[in-house]
Amino acid sequence: MSMLKDFRDFALKGNVVDLAVAVIIGAAFGRIVDSLVKDIIMPVIGRVFGGLDFSNFFVMLGNPPAGYSGPMTYEALTKAGVPLLAYGNFITIVINFVILAFVIFWMIRQLSAAKAKLDTAPSAPAPTPEDVLLLREIRDLLQK
């Protein structure tokens, strides 16, 4: 029972729950970046380089099955079970990673700047210590 209690205490700590939320949000954010790269950036890059489709850059490492008459595209060959070296897909994933890394860098930089701004914000003056107040009162009484 002690082990279950320890696990429950560990799992319900704030930082573990925060980590779980961050992983879920990160996964959703990764899908957004993946769509950005796949649906917006790669078509533009492909257009700039003469209408190239990076997803169809591959090298066949084996022959298609006997009697295969389908298209010679990445998706069709993968479904047919042909081993492929898909370097175009790799290029897309590298671009995806670079964008995601840049966004995370930018977010951390902004958070650090905001934290630094909060740390340097003027705080309320500390209350005057009681002994200083007493000494001031004595000084004022002696001056009279």
128 φ, ψ to 5°?
-65, 130
| Residue 56 in this model has a pLDDT that exceeds 80 | no
Query: What percent of the chain shows pLDDT beyond 90?
Result: 12
Residue 41, exposed/middle/buried by CB under 10 A (0-12, 13-18, 19+)? middle
- Residue 37: pLDDT band by 50, 70, 90 thresholds? confident
What pTM was estimated for this model as a whole? Answer: 0.55
Within 8 A by CB and 6+ apart from 103, the residues are 29, 33
Q: Nearest to residue 97, comparing CAs of 30, 39, 32?
A: 30
Q: Are 99 and 33 in contact (CB under 8 A)?
A: yes
DSSP letter at 36 equals I
CATH of domain 2-52+86-143: 1.10.1200
Distance from C-alpha of 98 to C-alpha of 33, rounded to nearest angstrom: 10
Q: Is the pLDDT of residue 144 over 80?
A: no
